[in-house]
Structure 1
Amino acid sequence: MDVVDPVVVESAAVLARHLRQGRDRRLAVLEWFAEAGAAAPPGAVQVPEPPLAAVREAVVWVLRGTMSYRLLEVARGAAGAGEEAADALYDVAGRLLAARPYRGSADPALVRAALESDEDVPEGPDFKGLVHLVAAIGLGAQEVGADALAEAFAAYGWFGLTAEDWAQMLGAVERGESPPVDWGLLQQRADVLRPVQRASDEQLLRARTVLGGLRMFYGLYAMHALFMPDTPALAALRARIDEWGMFPVLDHIIALNPTLRQFAEGLAACLAPLLDGLYETLMEQLAADPNVFRIAGDERGTAGFMDTWSRTLREQTRAGRRAPEGSE
């Protein structure tokens, strides 16, 4: 009797773990793919990869059901269909965005400063302005206009630019005072399905690696708001992200404890060369200074880092409880 291939046995076991009655098999495949990307504990068998064609199918299925994809489909349907179609696009987009309101995270440095000063924590960017970007994809950037597009781009918070900053730059383009912009790229980048459908197996595996790495770097950046001790290595990583102006983008894409649908959306986003390049830059910075959790002068290393962080959190909690009495 032939010996059963251990990979086949492990594949059957992992599929059994993730398949449940009434659950779509595509969600099981995504959970399997996520598990296979995690390092196995010492002594455990590494989870084998699921069929990557099934992973590709599952990601496309998730993307088709997202609000973003629904908005893009409405936008494409409004192209060239007249003023009534344009009004209907704004109406549908407004209702969809209102049904699922979303506000990004505020800059962690500003949040930390506000908490330390016992001031109101600033709000993150409001993404309602993105309706204009959706309209530009369907109707064309020229139909939407520079001011509306400026509001949409400012919603992301890239490089700290305000709507007025964007309006000034886009207005110069509109008046012919700056080099023209190829707005056709906007339509190309909006096609979220094609990159996934065309991705090779190696590209899907790489996207998973990039997504996992960026989740770690995003978490380190975001935890700065919660009084995490600031080491030179951590500051250098944050500076690299700031140089790229990418915290708002990461905040939009990355979830620290993602659902499977968020995992699929993040995986699709990490196929983009921009995020791949950011990941490489941050990995290079980490290699140059890996002492992320080492406070200067504290020989305890990670243990000292965590002890300092815990003590700071306790002190801030006590200070917060005393604040109302001292303010009277």
Structure 2
Amino acid sequence: MSQLESWRRAGLLPRHRRRGLGRGRGSVVDVVDPVVVESAAALVRHVRQGRDRRLAVLDWFAEAGTLLVRPGAVQVPEPPIGAVRQALVWVLERSVSQRLVAFARSAAGAGEEEQDALYAFAGRLVGPYRGSAHPALVRAALETGEDVPVEAEGPDFRSMVHLVAAIGLGAQEVGVDALAEAFAAFGMFGLKVEDWAQMLGAAERGEGPPVDWGMFERHADAVGSVKRASDEELVRARTVLVGLSGFYCVYVLYGLLLPDTPALAALRQRIDDLGVFPILDHVIAVNPSPGQFAVGLTVCLEPFFDNLYEVLMEQLMEGPDIFRIPGDETGAVGFGETWMRTLRELPGAGGASAGAG
């Protein structure tokens, strides 16, 4: 009971409605409020000893936004949005991206030595992670029993520190070549380093559309974005993040031999036509920590990702039977069985054909 009272004092758990008995006899609960019960259950699932309560609030908020997949499952109630906002700000202020931006701003005008320190600091924080290999290349390798070629990996994400440097030091200090490398690391629209260098160079010379560097400054202020967003915008950003995560996962699972139905192929083609898989690969975490969820949700406050979500939802509405193989009346069940059978029959998988001998 002390734990429940602690959650109530923190504003995380509402109280059951009580009816007074009159004449100093206290009060009673006539009806148990299911919202209170489910809210308490959500807190029990996510609060752990030694773990900051704000992380549990973010896990609860993420869970409340997931789609119900089990018949009869109870919808998880929403946590108090004020507590969600406080948790997002607390996590973002401690994130790697915010630490990088703060360091970059402190290095502005401090000389070459401080700029070198920025790049060294970024190298320690970001690490050597490269983008995922494209699912089509992974699928081809699995089907032939070969290794995924090393060149299939995406560009080194450490080069994106150039964008952070541009926010703190100014684009002129960083230079066109370094910035082109940073934009190419995103993999946006299939453009290479040379393409970005040409466009940024033209903008610098006044021969092309100017680059709105203020946009990057605003995007870097993740904490400010969350503070300025309305309650409805935070919930909408979660909807966008959950939806894009689903589209991303389906695309990735194609690389793991997910049956390629016409509806799935059309959805993948739309993502390819938009050139946004590398962006999704950078933004989406399949099983996000509260910190990753906070960063992803903040990114999805941007109109670009909201519009991308709408475009992909329109494509899904045009071909909703993504998990139905043509001619198979068993629907999703047959789809899943086909996928498992394909995986068992992989070269070297030790399936039925290997055991028959």
The count of aligned residue pairs is 319
Query: Which residue of 312, 316, 338 maps to 1:282?
Result: 312
Displacement, 1:57?
0.9
Distance 1:224 1:44, change over 3 A: closer
Closer/same/farther in 2, CA of residues 46 and 295 from structure 1, 3 Å limit: closer
Aligned to 2:333: 303
In the other structure, the counterpart of 2:48 is: 20
Which residue of structure 2 aligns with residue 193 of structure 1?
A: 223
User: Which 10-residue stretch deviates more, 126-135 or 44-53?
Assistant: 44-53
CA contact (8 A) 2:257 2:342 kept: yes
Partner of 2:6: none
How far does residue 15 in structure 1 lie from its aligned partner after superposition?
Answer: 2.4
Task: String of CA shifts for 1:199-257, please: whole Å, max 9, x gaps.
Answer: 11111111121111111111111111111111111111112222322111111111222
Q: Does 1:208 align with 2:238?
A: yes
1:39 shift after superposition: 4.7
Paired AA for residue 101 in structure 1: P
Q: Which amino acid aligns with 1:155?
A: A
Q: Distance in 2 between matches of 1:16 and 1:311?
A: 38
TM-superposition CA deviations, 1:240-298 (whole Å, max 9, x none): 22232211111111122222222222221211111111111111111111110122232
Partner residue, 1:102: 129
Mean Cα displacement is larger for which, 180-189 or 269-278?
Answer: 180-189
2:174 aligned partner: 144
1:115 aligns with 2:115: no
Counterparts of 1:1-328 in structure 2 under 5 Å? Answer: 1-3=28-30, 6=33, 7-39=35-67, 41-97=70-126, 100-121=127-148, 122-318=152-348
SS in 2 for 1:202: helix
Q: Which moved more, 1:248-257 or 1:144-153?
A: 248-257
TM-superposed CA distance for 1:72, in Å, is 0.5
For 1:308 and 1:208, locate their aligned partners in 2 and report how far apart those are by CA, in whole Å.
32
Q: TM-score, normalised to structure 1's length?
A: 0.90
- Cα deviation, 1:103-143, whole Å, max 9, x if unaligned, reads 21121112222333444312233112112111111111111
Structure 1 residue 198 displacement after superposition: 1.3
Structure 2: runs of 5 or more not aligned: 1-27, 352-357
Shift of 1:83: 2.6
> C-alpha separation between the residues in 2 aligned to 1:17 and 1:311?
35
1:169 CA displacement: 1.8
Quote the Cα distance in structure 1 between the aligned partners of 2:330 and 2:38: 40
**Runs of 5+ in structure 1 lacking a partner?**
322-328
Contact preservation (8 Å) 1:15, 1:28: yes
Q: Give the whole-Å Cα distance in 2 for the aligned partners of 1:9 and 1:109.
A: 46
Cα–Cα, structure 1 residues 20 and 115, in superposed 2: closer, same or farther, change >3 Å?
closer
Larger mean CA deviation between 114-123 and 124-133 belongs to: 114-123
Conserved 8 A contact 1:106-1:125: no
Q: Could you tell me how far apart the structure 2 residues matched to 1:77 and 1:127 are? A: 22
| Inter-CA distance 139–235: structure 2 relative to 1 (3 Å threshold) | same
User: Compared with structure 1, are the counterparts of its residues 3 and 84 closer, same or farther at alpha carbon in structure 2 (3 Å cutoff)?
Assistant: same
Task: Give the percent of matched residue pairs that are identical in Structure 1 and Structure 2.
Answer: 68
Structure index of larger Rg: 2
